[in-house]
Amino acid sequence: MAFNFYMPDIGEGVVEGEIVAWKVKEGDRVTLDQPLVEVMTDKATVELPSPRAGTIVKIHYQDGQICPVGQILVVIDDAGTASPEVPAGKPGADHGRAAPVPHPMPPTPPSPPPPGGGAIQVVDATGSRSRVLATPATRRLARQLGVEIGKVPPTGPHGRVTTDDVRGFRGNGATPAPRPAPPHPPIAIARGGDEERIPLRGMRKRIAESMARSKQTAAHFTYVEEIDMTELVAVRERARARAAERGVKLNYLPFIVKAVVSGLKKWPQLNASLDEQAQEIVRKKYYHIGIAAQGPHGLAVSVVRDADQRSIFDLSREIDRLGDAVKAGTATREDLTGSTFTITSLGKLGGVLATPIINFPEVAILGVHKIEERPAVRGGQIVARHLMNLSISVDHRLADGWDAAMFVQDVKALLEDPTTMFMEMV
């Protein structure tokens, strides 16, 4: 008989998923737990295994399309003979369960980790969840305004109810207010000779959406400062042997994280977010530092949680663990969400300076550039020093140039005189 496999509820707040790549095609025989499809949500990329052995009868959503939670994703004939599909949402329909393997994701807004902080458990809750497509923020706004969200006509993509829909419905009790016009119409690029066209989907699409949202929302400005790392270079060299004895590959990033946390405690407006709905500035008294780095599927931000409570060696171990997980595609949602401030570094390819894009909804991001010997004037003499630039991009809505400059100066002081940094370490 035909078995309808519905798009499962992959995580809290997830209402839809983008089909990244099918691993099977119609007519293929599949076994139980065989990978069927790779799906990307705004929380993670997951691989959905087959809940049944049988033959793929019908694929309802193709690569690049958006499948809402609760819609039929694929039909599997588990008796060897195709039969009519069970209508979507039929009472008693067998939806199945699946436990996918999480993969790296781009910078996203913070969300609560899954129970246990491990792999994402996919549970099909189609029979009990609302069919209304809306984000948690939109649902919360509807509750606050006393609006029954199921009665609000949707105008968002794929039938999603937006916050503007809710406000408009509340305003006149019947129809939503017109949606604001997009900043510019989509741009078409005419064909012009020998070229390759690659669909914008999956990880690259999520990165594009996140970066565009950040630039369109946060009022970016960048401040750059030169750091004399000579003393820290020497300290790191002396500490490498002891670190190696403990199985730690010591680089400069743990020292930078420590200096950043110290600076954030003095300048809390940079460890914050703007709750636009409540019109509140949320200053966070916990320090989850995001480390932006290139992964196999694009940019990923891994998160060192409670960085203020970790030693240099502990930070080094955690940064290495997260980096390995991103490269292997085994990073969990907890590993990749919830950062309060982000550091981005290309290591030896770090260049001289950059204007990094803020990891929305954070307030600031610090760019770390390469350390190299350059001439410097010390005591009236030209000498060789190990110099490095730091560039910080800040959301001007929540912090001013003075805040950014003073924060970087505090970080600079600690990096240039590591003995003062050690006094503040746990």
Residues recognised as catalytic: 396, 400
DSSP string, 64-75: T-EEETTSEEEE
Q: Is the dihedral of CA 252, 254, 260, 265 positive or negative?
A: negative
DSSP 8-state assignment for residue 23: S
Q: Calculate the CA dihedral of residues 214, 218, 219, 223 and round it to 10 degrees.
A: -70
**To which H or E segment does residue 167 belong?**
helix 163-172
Please enumerate in sequence order all residues whose Cβ is within 8 A of that of 376, keeping only pairs 6 or more positions apart, or say none: 228, 382, 383, 384, 385, 387
Instruction: Find out whether 154 and 169 touch, Cβ atoms under 8 Å.
Output: no
DSSP string, 174-193: SSPPPPPPPSSPPPP----S
Bridging pattern class, strands 54-59 and 35-40: unpaired
Residue type, 2: A
Secondary structure class of 143 (helix, strand, coil): helix
